[in-house]
Amino acid sequence: MERWRKLNRILILGCSGSGKTFLALILAAAVQERLPLPSLGSPAVSCPVAYLDWESCQEDIQDRLAGLYAGWEHPASPSLFYRAVRHPLGEIAPSLAEEMRALHVGLVV
């Protein structure tokens, strides 16, 4: 659990098809639901999670989450705050930060 407290930024890089989205969704679901991960245990706290998506669509993300939850044998799939994004992060950061605060989001993917 101590390892989770030290994580505040993670950069996931890789080629297309390497599993970056699945890894990000695993981390998002674990944080939102306090689900345990191998070698990390359960997150110290849970919080709402937002998923900002420049590449995919909400249906694809929900399908992947449903599969992950089935693998965890967890009864429900999470309801992440999903946002399709088409502008550079720098352009939307100020308004996005306000929105995340209003939604009490503690993790942005």
Higher pLDDT, 6 or 13: 13
Distance, in Å, from the CA atom of 109 to the CA atom of 103, rounded to the nearest integer, reads 15
Distance, in Å, from the CA atom of 84 to the CA atom of 87, rounded to the nearest integer, reads 10
DSSP secondary structure code for residue 41 in this structure? B
Q: Which residues contact 32 (CB under 8 A, 6 or more apart)?
A: 46, 47, 48, 49, 78, 80, 107
Distance, in Å, from the CA atom of 10 to the CA atom of 95, rounded to the nearest integer, reads 22
Summarised one tens digit per residue, pLDDT across range 39-77 is: 888 888 888 999 999 888 999 998 888 888 888 777 766
Residue 87: predicted pLDDT = 93
Is the pLDDT reported for residue 93 higher than 80?
Answer: yes
Report the residue count for the chain.
109
